[in-house]
Amino acid sequence: MAPRTGIKQKKVLQHCTPSLVPSLSQRRRLVEPYLKQTKAIDSIVWEINKKLCSNTQIPTRRVRIQTARHLKIPKRIRREECSPIEGGVKRRADLEPTSDYAYDTISCYDCNPVVSPINHAEVSLYHHSDPQAPLPSHVLAISDTNQDSLERLVPVHPQFLSAHWAHATGKLPESDGLAVHTADAGSESNGNGIGTIPDATGIVPVVPLQIHNLETFHHILAFTYEQSPVSLIASLTTDVVASIGEYAGMDVGWEQRIQEWRISQILAHHETLENLKEMVWRIHNLVENANVVGMDDEDFWWCCDVAMRIVMDALVAQGRPQD
SS3 letters across 183-198: CCCCCCECCCCCECCC
Write the pLDDT tens digit of every residue in 12-70: 444 444 444 455 565 556 556 655 565 555 554 445 555 555 556 888 889 999 999 99
Residues 6+ apart with CB under 8 A from 138: 155, 156, 157, 158, 172, 173, 175, 204, 205, 206, 207
Residue 168 has pLDDT above 50, yes or no: yes
Residue 267 has pLDDT above 90, yes or no: yes
Residue 53 CA to residue 42 CA, distance in Å, equals 16
Residue 165 CA to residue 169 CA, distance in Å, equals 7
Residue type, 146: N
Write the pLDDT tens digit of every residue in 217-258: 999 999 999 999 999 999 999 999 988 988 888 888 888 888
Residue 71 has pLDDT above 60, yes or no: yes
Residue type, 306: V
Share of the chain above pLDDT 90, in %: 41
pTM reported for the whole predicted model:
0.76
Write the pLDDT tens digit of every residue in 149-162: 678 899 999 999 99
State the sign of the Cα–Cα–Cα–Cα dihedral 169, 175, 176, 180.
negative
pLDDT band at 172 (very low <50, low <70, confident <90, very high): confident
